[in-house]
Amino acid sequence: MTRALIKLWNFLAAVRNGIFFRLRNLEGRVAIKGRLRLNVPLLCEGAGHVTLGPDVSIGYDLAAMLGDGAVRINARGRDALIVVGEGTSFSNNVQVYAEDSVSIGARCLIGDAVLICDSDFHDLSPDGRRHGVAAKAPVVLEDNVFVGSRAIILKGVTIGKDSVIGAGSVVVRPIPAGVIAAGNPAKVIRPL
């Protein structure tokens, strides 16, 4: 009896998440290239375009939930582009914001509450903060990158293939392929 209730609960949650995703994506700015697994709501907002590769997984049942655990993918500007590669998995509460472009490769693992953004969103000068132009630069995560929980990846960063970013790290500079990096600011600790 308990197993049947759990299965029913999981089925209803999946239906809710799928309906919520469709309602938030009425304008057709999101291209889904294959099966999309939704375990938490996916909010795709903004005027830009999002492409999700085959077998992308959104949310993880056993990870921490803040509110509904929703994953937010926001391509803000009209020319903004967010591309997620095949087989990439997002945990809960992940936020990806693009004013320019964010590219996440195939088979990446993105931990819970990770923040990825390609812009400062405000001019940093005191006089320009409210009306100035923010600095922006593309973010690239190459294939098979593992980003630990609550890491922050900022504008202009490229993380090389197979690298690991430690939990809670703030990545402000490029990270080479095949290394473990951690800290604030993130630094290479050792090769894999």
How many CB atoms neighbour CB 118 within 10 A? Answer: 28
Tell me the backbone φ, ψ of residue 68, rounded to 5 degrees.
Answer: -90, 0
Catalytic amino acids?
122
Here the tokens at position 131 are 């009306």
The rounded distance, in Å, linking the Cα atoms of 14 and 8 is 10
